[in-house]
């Protein structure tokens, strides 16, 4: 039996002064859960960032009263947290706290940026690509990585709200609810080096701790291997994801769609399809197959020969493995771009995994583009973001349901006698889009399945059909 969560996003004008004016169905549906502050013994159900901050402050105070460094009773520092497949390789893991790894550890050193995250020994580039995208948006970032945490053992500092006690706090959106996840800071190492996700600066530990918190959510580091960037994007924002094929299947107005997504602060990522034996293998022109990339910008630039559509991407490996074709670092095409235009788009040439390429090459070499659109569950984005404040937002409605054998499991449309028994939901789109001349409104529908990654099970093949219905 599978529990589907149909979600619907509709485009609307956004007025920040009336953010709480309309209660969406998702908030109403979960209200009965809020009476209990504990979601499973391992997690805490979050009403808001402020209420969770007070809750975590109490957890820190209790640990300080108990004395010693916090040890998570629900996520053990042993091979059971690593997972059987990674342990089967015969590698040993030493669990150390940051102070046992470097002399002057920092939770955050010199701010959080998309260049911080580097992939470790597991194939979770899908997760890192989402983290890199998230790091570009301060308001979204602090919903997941609440500010004010520290590794300084000399008491609270001017930039910290909590005293260090070996306890750290992160938040994820899971199937309709924001969940607080608390972990200790014991991390898997080898030769005093972090072996999984880590920051480029050895003193910085926010990224390794974020990954560990997500591991607590899904069970093991093993469970992090392989996935879609959209999965992590949803868990970071509460938004709804959309996937579009590239190549010959790419929509004609895709670049404009990506520009609109950027203007609305939608997170974006992309990847190249690959066979099982070609995952994270060498592809054409310096690209990596079976690998996720963050999309960090889309721009129309003016060259001496006319306007050019460009896309900026980042490889989560964070090294010299970059695109080497036209518009790559130091390529001759940049000589046709005036210096002021280069400064406007923030052009740099570093071996940091980030690069530009033409939009035509992007749709030629990559397989799909993934979007995460921000709905009411996502924090309001403001001027501190890299991009402009979005003038339009999405409304979201969530319906919960399930397919039960002999009751609501009607099968696909091949089963005409029972298809009508499937769960049905009516949606009315009233306002047309203002971004085109068509008298139609945009609607995005998505389905989510619970518990599949945690139990190492494949997703069920599920779907939906949309029909025009009479208002009578």
Active site residues: 125, 291, 315
CA distance linking residue 463 with residue 461, whole number of Å: 7
Query: In the block, which residue shows the tokens 């609501």?
Result: 408
Helical axes 206-218 vs 125-134, angle rounded to 10°: 120
The CB density around residue 93, as the number of other CB atoms within 10 Å, is 20
Distances (CA, A) of 144 to 61, 147, 178, 248, 332: 22, 9, 9, 37, 40
Bridge partners of 446?
7
Task: Give burial (CB, 10 Å; 0-12/13-18/19+) of 278.
Answer: middle
Q: Which residues contact 4 (CB under 8 A, 6 or more apart)?
A: 401, 402, 403, 423, 447, 448, 449, 462
User: Would you mind telling me the total number of residues written for the chain in this entry?
Assistant: 472
The CB density around residue 100, as the number of other CB atoms within 10 Å, is 14
DSSP 8-state assignment for residue 318: -
The alpha carbon of residue 128 and the mean position of all alpha carbons in its chain are separated, in whole angstroms, by: 8
Per DSSP, the residues of 152-203 read: -TTS--TT-SS--SSEEEEEEEETTEEEEEEEE--EEEETTEE-SSEESSTT
Q: What is the CA radius of gyration of the chain?
A: 23
Bridge partners of 440?
none
CA distance linking residue 360 with residue 307, whole number of Å: 13
């Amino acid at each position: 039996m599978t529990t589907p969560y149909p979600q619907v996003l509709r485009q609307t004008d956004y007025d920040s002064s009336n953010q709480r004016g309309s209660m969406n169905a998702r908030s109403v549906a979960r209200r009965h859960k809020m009476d209990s502050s504990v979601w499973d013994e391992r997690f805490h159900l979050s009403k808001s960032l402020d209420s969770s901050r007070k809750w975590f402050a109490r957890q820190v105070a209790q640990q300080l009263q108990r004395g010693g460094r916090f040890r998570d009773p629900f996520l053990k520092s042993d091979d059971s947290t690593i997972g059987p497949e990674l342990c089967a390789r015969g590698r040993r893991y030493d669990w150390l706290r940051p102070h046992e790894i470097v002399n002057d550890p920092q939770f955050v050193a010199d701010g959080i940026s998309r260049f911080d995250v580097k992939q470790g020994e597991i194939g979770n580039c899908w997760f890192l690509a989402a983290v890199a995208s998230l790091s570009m948006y301060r308001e979204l970032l602090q919903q997941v990585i609440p500010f004010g945490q520290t590794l300084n053992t000399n008491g609270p500092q001017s930039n910290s709200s909590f005293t260090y006690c070996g306890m750290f706090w992160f938040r994820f959106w899971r199937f309709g609810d924001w969940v607080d996840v608390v972990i200790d800071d014991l991390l898997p190492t080898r030769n005093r080096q972090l072996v999984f996700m880590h920051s480029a600066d050895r003193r910085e530990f926010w990224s390794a701790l974020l990954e560990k918190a997500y591991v607590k959510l899904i069970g093991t580091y093993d469970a992090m291997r392989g996935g879609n960037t959209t999965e992590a994007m949803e868990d970071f924002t509460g938004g709804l994801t959309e996937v579009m094929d590239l190549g010959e299947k790419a929509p004609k107005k895709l670049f404009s769609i990506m520009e609109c997504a950027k203007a609305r602060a939608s997170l974006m990522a992309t990847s190249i399809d690959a066979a099982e034996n070609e995952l994270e293998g060498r592809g054409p022109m310096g690209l990596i197959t079976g690998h996720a990339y963050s999309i960090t910008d889309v721009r129309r630039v003016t060259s001496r020969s006319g306007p050019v559509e460009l896309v900026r991407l980042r490889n989560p490996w964070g090294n010299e493995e970059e695109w080497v074709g036209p518009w790559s670092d130091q390529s001759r095409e940049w000589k046709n771009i005036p210096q002021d235009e280069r400064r406007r788009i923030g052009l740099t040439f570093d071996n940091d995994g980030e690069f530009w390429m033409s939009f035509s090459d992007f749709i030629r070499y990559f397989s799909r583009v993934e979007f995460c659109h921000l709905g009411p569950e996502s924090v309001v984005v403001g001027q501190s973001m890299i991009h402009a404040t979005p003038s339009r937002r999405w409304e979201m409605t969530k319906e919960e349901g399930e397919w039960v054998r002999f009751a609501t499991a009607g099968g696909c449309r091949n089963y005409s006698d029972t298809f009508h028994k499937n769960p049905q939901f009516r949606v009315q789109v009233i306002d047309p889009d203002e971004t085109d001349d068509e008298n139609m409104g945009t609607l995005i529908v998505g389905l989510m399945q619970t518990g599949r990654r945690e139990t190492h099970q494949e997703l069920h093949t599920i779907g939906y059909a949309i029909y025009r219905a009479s208002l009578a």
